[in-house]
Each structure stands twice: as structure tokens, then as C-alpha cells.
Amino acid sequence: MTNATSTTRCDEELLRLSQSGDEAAFAELYGRRGAGVYRFALQMCGSESVAEDVTQEVFMALIRESALFDAGRGALSSYLYGIARNQVLRRLERERHFVALNDEAEAWGDIPNSEYASARPDPLAELARSETIESVRQAVLSLPAHYREVVVLCELHETSYAEAANILGCAVGTVRSRLHRARALLVERLGAMRAESGVEPESMSRVRCFA
Amino acid sequence: MNCREFSDYAAELARARMLEAAMREDALRHAGSCGACAARLRSEQSLTAALRTTAESMNGTAAPPGIESALMAAFRESRDGGRVPARASLAESPAAARVSAARFAGWRRRALAASAVAAVLLIAFTAARRAGLNSSPALSQETSINSPSAGKVETNTPHHLANNIQQTLTAVKTSTGKLSGRPDKPKRRETAAGLGDRERARPRQAASFEVDGGRAVFADQNEVETGAAGATGVSADTESLTDFVPVAAGAGSAPLDGGQLVRVQVPRAALASLGLPVDADRAGGTVKADVLLGHDGTARAIRLVR
């Protein structure tokens, strides 16, 4: 999660202006934070449609209930991610009763693959890169939700432990330990994927040391 | 630093996160002398690189423009003093439409299967009742718990009409679309305004009804029409209902000229015993169902509630 630098106005100032009816401020706030919220939801659930729903819900909540935001409890971005997280978890709980659709499962990798295919000259490197992204995508989505969210926040969104703890409503130590465990699971699963695909999983294998 | 301690810092080292200088040097020194920990560090670095590649690949990913347009419209409406549009009125992407359709189809299949099984259960219940049982303890208990108005909402049946429940159901469906008063497809809405709040289904009450000219008229005078939520005290916003499945009560059933709609709980175990897939973790639980009872107390139709 990076701080926006395109304007001098902070998120909280934009929110205050939005509350007073400033449409441009709301548009700027969405432009600043909407993509991050969307990506967070997409990375958490792997579904474009759910990510779109979640993004809508987050900013609809901001329209309707912006007074609930308390700047003393954390940054607006954390507040938005927190709403997104609640929405995603609620949907994940609901969606587990439904069968996943194949076309949805492809959503995460579509955009980057096509973008980089034209931008990068080395097809082999691009292939490896695409495979890596796809493997990571699958591995992240296979994690239990409480591990997945720390990976998405701390690794994919570069959120600090403190910010993540604020978003998740837990202690910093909890974030750290979950991330530690989540990374171990990712190494394990990526190693297994590579082994299945015939690639020597040397670099991704789980290494145990008892010295 | 030993290997266990190294393990605690390997990820931080690989992620190039801030570490105390002395600790970092200790960790690197240990990795230099321990092959396993060196491999562990390489593994963590490889994972970090893969995660960063993945994160970079999505840097340009954003929600479709339609989302912003819908949000801006909602913002303007809210600012101008209007009611903030419901979630459903916002943009729906083609992907969302595909998923919704597929989910609905899957829901329907499951609901139909469950309805069929529930109907069999009701047949068995009815048969037992007719065989001399005054009542089913389980049903009576659930009725008294979940139907606060049960027993006091008997209809003042005018006694015109109706041949049997099947004809009634058919007539009602033909003229008004649905007997249950629910829309054409199950609602799966949520209270967007209540982020963080749990969705709660409102307590369901029993409702009496009469049959009048092919329409079911409930005791509170609400005619059951398509989309007329609340005819039975049900919050259509929070529940999904299957169609009513007529229960073949057998020959000689009294014509349906009124009765009660009561909510009951059907044991999952009973569903499982009939071969219906049941979540093993929740096998001990029950599923909700609405049962249409005639004045003679026999079950005439059932629908499942979700």
C-alpha cells in the first residue's frame, strides 16, 4: 500500500470534502484507492465479479456511512481495506456453497499476461514469468483465508505489519507469525506444483534444519 | 545464532525488511556456515521474488470504468438528498452476470432435490399421522417455537371453493406467478449499509390463509402476489425459498379451503438417510422448511427455506 502522491491533499481531506458534497474529491479518492481495493479483493478471492462487487460495496459504504470512519484509529486506506476484507470474507463464506467457474479462475492472470507478452521481448523469460505468476496465484488462493489475507496485504500490497494489524484487527505479532506460516505454506505448495510439472523444485523446496 | 533462530529471521532477510544490523550479520554468517539454512534463505528469496513479480504484474489492474460511473451516480444522488441507490442498481459486469446465472442454476438444482426429499419426508409424516398419531413431537415443538402466532390465526374460512391443493397451487401460480410471494428467483441480497453486521433472518410467523377464486388470501389480508414480500411475515430480503412442492397426501384428502403455513425444522440426518448429500460437519443439524397445513392438520405442500 503506497501513499498517493498525485495531489497534496491527503485521503482524509478528500473524504472531508466528499462529505460536504465535493464530487471531484470523491472521484479523486476513488481514483486513488479504488484500484488497490479492487486488487485486494481480486487477490483474495480470484474472481473479477466478486472483486467488482466488493469495490462497489466499499465505496458505497463510504458514501453512506463515511461518518463511521475515525481517523484516530488508523488511515482511511486501512479503513477501506478493512471493509473490503469483511466483504470478501463474507462472500467467501457464502461462495463456498457454490461451484467455482473455470472462466472466473482465469481472471487473475489475464491482464498481466497479455500486457507483458507484448512488452517483453524474451518469450522464454515471459513464459517462465507467466508460469510463476500463475503458480503464485494458485498457491495464494489455496491458502486459508487468515493466511491469504496477510500474504496479500504484506507481500502483494507491501503493507507494513502495523497497517496490516490495523486492517485485520489483530496484533502485529499475529500478523508476523501468520505471514511466517503462510510463507512456509507457499513454499511448500509452490514446490509441490513444480514437482508435479516436472520442474526440479530445488529453489522452492521446504528446507528443514535441525542443527 | 542457531538454526531455529535463523528460521525466525529468514523471511525478513529475504524480504529485505529492516533488521537490526547485528542480527542481520549474525543471520548471514550462520547461513554462510550452514548449508540447510543457506538453502532455506534461497528458498525464501525465491518466494519473495515470485511474490513481487506477481504483485508487479497486477499494478495496472483496476475495476472496470462502469464501477466508477455507478459510484459517482450514487454519490450525486446521495449528495442531492436522494436515497442512495440499492446495490442491485449499480453496474453489473458480464462476468458477474455469468456467475450469477450459473449460481442461480446450481441453487435451483439443489433446491429442487431438497424439495423432493422434503416432500418424501412429509409424506411419511402424513402417513404416520393418519395412522393414528396425534402429532409429531418434533414438529409441534418447532411450530410452537418458531411460530408465535400458530394456533391463533385460524382462518374464518368462507368455504367457497377449491378442489385440492394441487389445483390451488396451479391456479395461484398461473394467475399470480408464485404462491409464496417471493420473486421469480431466490434473493441473495445483503444489507450493504450494515457492513460488519450479520445478516439475520427475521423470525418467521405462522400465517393462515384462505383459498378464494384461485388466489391464496392470508389472514392479514395480504394477497399473495409475485414480489409481494411479507405476505407471510417473511423477509424476502434475507431468505431464499424454493417453490412449494405439493405433498401427495393420498386419496381422500379433504379439499383445501384454508389452513396454516408453519415453519418447521427437518433433521439433516433424515435427509441423509434418504441419500441426499449432507455436509458431514452439520449432519446433526436441521434445515428450515415451510409446511402448508390444511384445516385437517395434514401437510399439503412444503418448501425449503434458506
A90-118: average pLDDT: 53
Chain A interface includes B34 (CB < 8 A): yes
The sheet with strand B215-218 has its strands ordered as: B215-218, B207-212, B258-267, B286-294, B299-305, B245-246
A21: left (phi over 0), alpha (psi -120 to 50) or beta: left
Amino acid B19: pLDDT: 67
Amino acid B171: pLDDT: 41
A128-154: average pLDDT: 91
Amino acid B196: pLDDT: 35
Q: Is the pLDDT of residue B59 over 70?
A: yes
Inter-chain touch B64–A180, beta carbons under 8 Å: no
d(CA B294, CA B301): 9
Q: What is the ipTM of this complex?
A: 0.78
Q: Which residue from B minimizes the CA distance to A204?
A: B43
- Collect all residues of chain B within an 8 Å Cβ-Cβ radius of residue A157: 55
Inter-chain touch B43–A156, beta carbons under 8 Å: no
Amino acid B110: pLDDT: 58
**Chain A interface disruption, residue of B6, B75, B100, B103, most A CBs within 10 A:** B75
Chain A interface includes B19 (CB < 8 A): no
Which of B55, B78, B93 has the CB atom closest to A52's CB atom?
B93
Buried b (16+ CB within 10 A) or exposed e, A85-94: bbbbebbeee
Amino acid B187: pLDDT: 37
pLDDT band at residue B115, thresholds of 50, 70 and 90?
A: low
Lowest mean pLDDT among A55-59, A145-149, B301-305: B301-305
Q: Is the pLDDT of residue A18 over 80?
A: yes
- Collect all residues of chain B within an 8 Å Cβ-Cβ radius of residue A99: 102, 106
Give the gap in angstroms from C-alpha B96 to the nearest C-alpha of chain A: 5
Inter-chain touch B54–A156, beta carbons under 8 Å: yes
Residues 99-158 of A with CB under 8 A from B: 99, 101, 103-104, 107-108, 111-113, 115-116, 129, 132-133, 135-137, 140, 151, 155-158
Q: What are B201-230's pLDDT values in tens digits?
A: 333 444 555 544 444 444 443 333 333 333
Q: Is the pLDDT of residue B105 over 60?
A: no
Amino acid A37: pLDDT: 94
Amino acid A185: pLDDT: 93
* pTM to 2 decimal places: 0.53
Please name the residues in contact with B4: beta carbons below 8 A apart, sequence gap of 6 or more.
none
A8-17: average pLDDT: 87
pLDDT band at residue A147, thresholds of 50, 70 and 90?
A: very high
- Collect all residues of chain B within an 8 Å Cβ-Cβ radius of residue A21: 79
Average pLDDT score, chain B: 60
Q: What are B119-178's pLDDT values in tens digits?
A: 667 666 666 666 554 443 333 333 333 333 333 333 333 333 334 444 444 443 433 333
Residues 238-267 of B with CB under 8 A from A: none
